Chain A
């Protein structure tokens, strides 16, 4: 159960778009359309932003979008806002009743 690989940091100016990658293997990200993305502000619980690669829970702005190609999933935040500054974690079902998370990406809004 190796963690998924995310860049430790990402940044963008207000109004810009930023994409965060999440790389796994054919046993997790590449093998299932079960990638989720979570946003976590300091001292807070994670919040589900994207599930099943590209679906948004109700209440999540459409500025957040997800995609996948091969063993790499991506989260794109468009029209960056100050409140988007947070840590972002991806997760993927990894078969045999296992779930694996990425190491997290700290998104800074410049």
Chain B
């Protein structure tokens, strides 16, 4: 059974940093690109970042470029999102998800999400 488990969310002050983790199981992690998608409270989904299976290619939404860094450790089946210079508008549930190859970044497995609250 495929499982994705996010962790690392919490309350942080504006300007602060946080690192999210997503531990995967039930599939060959290194074979799949992975992505982070966030959802502000009561709002829609917003794509944040993606990374290739090898980790050699990374992609970011303009809203987080230069502040967030996506990475992965395939030996640990873990995806990361380092978030710096956090803003109140970054408050959201952050989901990690796989990227199904050849589908234009469709994701058929999602974690349950971790809540990041940026507030003073």
B46-A101 in contact (CB<8A):
yes
B61 at the interface (CB under 8 A from A): yes
| Chain A: interface residue total (CB-CB under 8 A) | 28
* Complex CA distance for A104 and B42, rounded to whole angstroms: 11
A34-B45 in contact (CB<8A):
no
Contact with A along B84-120 (1 / 0, CB 8 A): 0000000000010100100111111011110000000
B100-A51 in contact (CB<8A):
yes
* Complex CA distance for A98 and B108, rounded to whole angstroms: 18
A51-B45 in contact (CB<8A):
no
What band does the interface of chain B fall in when counting residues whose beta carbon is under 8 Å from A? Answer: 20 to 34
On chain A, the residues within 8 Å of B112 by CB distance are 44-45
B56 at the interface (CB under 8 A from A): no
B44 at the interface (CB under 8 A from A): yes
Contact with B along A49-81 (1 / 0, CB 8 A): 001100001000000000000000000000000
**Per a CB cutoff under 8 Å, which of A45, A48, A57, A91 touches B47?**
A91
A48-B106 in contact (CB<8A):
yes
A45-B103 in contact (CB<8A):
no
A93-B111 in contact (CB<8A):
no
> Which residue, B35, B46, B111, has most C-beta atoms of chain A within 10 A?
B46
A99 at the interface (CB under 8 A from B): yes
**Per a CB cutoff under 8 Å, which of B45, B100, B104 touches A101?**
B45
A102 at the interface (CB under 8 A from B): yes
On chain A, the residues within 8 Å of B111 by CB distance are 45
* Complex CA distance for A5 and B50, rounded to whole angstroms: 23
Shortest A7–chain B CB gap in Å is 13
**Per a CB cutoff under 8 Å, which of A3, A52, A103, A104 touches B106?**
A52
Q: A99-B50, A101-B37 are in contact. List 14 more A-B contacts (CB 8 A).
A: A32-B104, A34-B103, A34-B106, A36-B106, A44-B112, A51-B100, A51-B108, A52-B103, A52-B104, A89-B45, A91-B105, A99-B35, A100-B47, A102-B44
